[in-house]
Amino acid sequence: MEKMIILLILLSLVFVLYQNEFAQERTEMMGFSFEAIVLPVKAHLITEPSEYYTSRRDEENVLKLFQEVNRIWDQGGVSFRVEGVEAAQVSERAIPAAINGNSTELQERNGKGMIHVFFTQSLNGINGIALNEIDSILVADDTTVNDFRATAHELGHLLGLGHVPQEERLMARGKNGEFLAVQEILLARKNSLHFKSQR
């Protein structure tokens, strides 16, 4: 009976930790603290002749979005520093090509040692796409989840994280969860060295 009570107490503690609203507090309560890692980001606002993919965002919108992205990633001690927001004039074929795995035209705009985030009005029904081969992500202006959450999610893919089924997690597909498991944090931090080492 005593073992059963101890087991129930432990399960209750795990449940409380798991349900805690603040992910940063969760990691601190589990005994984890992380040294800050700052990753440089360049934001590109897509413009193209047909205007179907031309982003409606501006610099102020992008900077506010990244405040929320950094709030989410703060639980792992990772932040993304926007080092520039610029228009990216591309052909009207560039975004459909990138959706289908050919990111050659976008790659021409990339500098080494930083993450490139391309904002586009539409991704033909997709919220975002990680283009790991060119250290970039694409994020639609109109998303089915919070746009900052979609951005944080795609950055997770860029840092090596895969999809998970739990709705409260950042890496759940098509949900508004924001929680990162400790294993995900450790993997993302390890993979973030790729960007730090190129500078």
pLDDT score, position 112: 73
pLDDT score, position 21: 41
pLDDT score, position 8: 53
pLDDT score, position 23: 43
pLDDT score, position 195: 76
Other CB atoms within 10 Å distance of the CB of residue 145: 16
Residue 162: domain span:
36-197
Q: What CATH number did the domain enclosing 86 receive?
A: 3.40.390.10
Q: Tokens standing for 66?
A: 């990244």
E strand map for the chain: 37-47, 78-89, 115-120, 128-131, 136-140
> Is 17 inside any structural domain?
no
> Is 163 inside any structural domain?
yes
Number of domains comprising the chain: 1
pLDDT score, position 138: 98
> Is 126 inside any structural domain?
yes
Q: What is the DSSP string of 107-152?
A: HTTPPTTSEEEEEES--TT-SEEEEGGGTEEEEESS-SS-HHHHHH
pLDDT tens string, the chain, 199 residues long: the values are 676 556 555 555 444 444 444 444 444 444 566 788 999 999 999 999 999 999 999 999 999 999 999 999 999 999 999 999 999 999 999 999 999 999 999 987 777 779 999 999 999 999 999 999 999 999 999 999 999 999 999 999 999 999 999 999 999 999 999 999 999 999 999 999 877 655 4
